[in-house]
Amino acid sequence: MKRICALLLAAALLTGSAAAAGEPEAAQPALDLSAASAVLMEKETGTLLYEKDARQKLEPASVTKVMTLLLIFEALDSGRISKEDVVTVSACAAGMGGSQVYLKEGEQMTVDELVKCITVVSGNDAAVAMAEYLAGSETAFVAQMNQRARELGMEDTTFLNCTGLPASGHVTSAHDIALMSRELVLNHPGVREYTTIWMDSIREGAFGLTNTNRLVRFYPGATGLKTGSTGSALYCMSATAERDGMELIAVVMKAPTSAQRFEDAKALLDYGFAAYALVTVYPESPLAPIPVLLGTQGQVQPQLERECRLLVRKGQEGQITTRLTLAQDLAAPVEQGQRVGEMEVSVDGQVRDTVPILSAQSVERLTAPRIFTRLLERLLMAGPAR
């Protein structure tokens, strides 16, 4: 009997990641993928919806540039740099091989143009130019890349350059690529301005750019993100797409051909959009004001601390229920943001989220003279007894 229990426990621990994230248990679909490793993640919750050898350490090729872009957009969004900044190309950056936009030593381009070159055509020279601009050298920038990877929990990752050009020991995993892709698209939505470009140009139209990510044109809802390929890494990509308010991240590593890479990414995204939905949950009844005793105001309005967005399987939307617990009254003083209750959210009877309910405003306590004045006013308004 003990052995049976142990086997059952082991099976539970090995259940797919969706269950670990609070999702009802479900077997993974039998997707016919050519890639050696793959992951499907929902952006907002970070839930893993599908995994195939997700922690296998492999060469990422130019998908490396997701981290390069993350550091660039963190600098942009923090105000450290601007899109209008002019970058002067070094001899080192101009000498990069592989995919490039043929930058010349001493050539000047704006950050905006260089980011476009990185996202659209995976320019190695543009990536190094930006790395040097941000950190002084590619070596210093790579140290920042690895530090950021550790902060994101990317345990399978070691970066040796900012481009993804072949280097012994430059590895990551589909799982880690999903983590850094999520950080980029979740917290820096401005990247979509670049990753959704299909065709554009630089140098005042003299040099054309066509996106290496075919899904941007041919997959409904595609929003990016980055492709990569080398002779040893084979064909990789991190693909993002959004439908009905839900954005998915599909990571494919070491697919045999470019075409199979895109087919694998489409299969993952198709599965996610067909099987899951992201639902905004509201209280089943309005949040009524709560009386305040001995306060300068007679009541406060409760409000949810945050929006509740729940990832559920298609067909479960009607199984979502909420249960409110609210204070019957409050004694002044009441602080704005004070917790006054909670909303418990369940799917098919299983609690999936608990959202605190807070006071929308503060209420000060009445002073003793004001309490006396109020009582006197009420007595006078009541008039003489008859």
Q: Which of 53, 54, 47 is nearest to 275 (CA)?
A: 47
Distance CA 255, CA 236 (A): 6
| Sequence-separated (6 or more) residues with CB below 8 Å from residue 78 | none
Catalytic residues: 62, 65, 122
Distance CA 101, CA 125 (A): 7
Backbone phi, psi, residue 107, to 5° = -65, 145
Distance CA 253, CA 174 (A): 7
Half-sphere exposure of 48 (CA within 13 A, CB side): 22
- The single-letter code of the amino acid at 10 is A
Distance CA 69, CA 131 (A): 10
Distance CA 146, CA 148 (A): 5
**Does the CA dihedral 74-75-79-84 come out positive or negative?**
negative
